[in-house]
Amino acid sequence: MELKILTLKEDILGVNKETAAKNQARLDKHDILSINLMSSPGAGKTSLILQTIEKLKSETRIAVIEGDVASSFDAEKIHQQGVPVVQINIPGGCHLDASMTETALNTLPLEETDLLLIENVGNLICPAEFALGEHKKVILLSAPEGDNKPQKYPLMFIEADVVLVNKVDLLPYLDFNTTAFNQAVNELNPGVKIFPVSCKTGEGLEAWLSWLENEIKQVKNHRNS
């Protein structure tokens, strides 16, 4: 598939919910598990997607939606892996919404997809407010950002199904307090899964990948039951 780049305008919050529900029904019809991946800029969303593709590509058919204010750097990297990808650019925007997702879905081979990874715009604030039709919300925080992000951006952490802490290979050089971080996340979202990972060294990725594989399996089992 050719790499497509779409330039789109933001939706308003009211209509968003309805469109998100429509998107989810459409993904369900195709037995696709969809993940809305959110983080600050530079936390490692694209690296996580590339690692996930590398590890799961042989058994899982993956498609990707890339959200960015401008450029298609991230989508190019994914395109090089031979995975269907569509880049959404939102000039002056700061989050993806459901109608953008709908437009992107129109360009992807849904019949041949098991897992849809949606990389939201790098921003810890409003992406949490706009449902896209995803089944799971995954928050990625990188250790250099500090351990107090849950207190500063609570909504993101309250909404998360999984919290990944990336760049843990740098922990020896940082003041990041893992115990304090885990405690803060648990206060906002009791029992949420927290996976420490390094997309650079590959450390900790098995836990993330096995969570993901299990979720994909549940979608397939649901179809067969």
Give min distance, CB of 93 to Zn ion, in A.
6
Q: Which amino acid is at 96?
A: L
Binding part of the chain for Zn ion, among 62-70, 87-95, 140-148, 182-190 by CB under 5 A, reads: 87-95
Task: Identify the burial level of 62 via C-beta atoms within 10 angstroms of its C-beta, where 0-12 means exposed, 13-18 middle and 19 or more buried.
Answer: buried
d(CA 47, CA 215): 21
Q: Which residue has the tokens 């997309």?
A: 199
Count H helices, E strands: the chain?
Answer: 8, 8
By CB under 5 A, residue 46 contacts Mg ion: yes
Element holding 115 (H helix, E strand): strand 115-119
Q: Identify any residues that bridge with 216 across adjacent strands, giving them in sequence order.
A: none
Residue 74 or 147: the one with the smaller Cβ distance to Mg ion is: 74
Nearest to Zn ion of 97, 145 (CB atom): 97
Q: Contacts with Mg ion in 181-210 (CB under 5 A)?
A: none
Using CB under 5 A as the binding rule, the residues of this chain from 92 to 151 that contact Zn ion are 94-95, 126
One residue of 44, 53, 74, 189 binding Mg ion per CB under 5 A:
74
Contact between 79 and Mg ion per CB under 5 A: no
Task: Candidates 46-54, 72-80, 86-94, 186-194: pick the segment binding Zn ion (CB under 5 A).
Answer: 86-94
Residue type, 40: S
Choosing among Zn ion, Mg ion, none, which partner's interface includes residue 95 (Cβ < 5 to 8 Å by kind)?
A: Zn ion
SS3 138: strand
- Partner whose footprint covers residue 126, from Zn ion, Mg ion, none (CB < 5 to 8 Å by kind): Zn ion
Output the smallest distance, CB 74 to Zn ion, in A. 18
Residue 56 token pair = 């799961």
Residue with tokens 């993904």: 27
Where do contacts with Zn ion occur on this chain (CB under 5 A)?
A: 94-95, 126
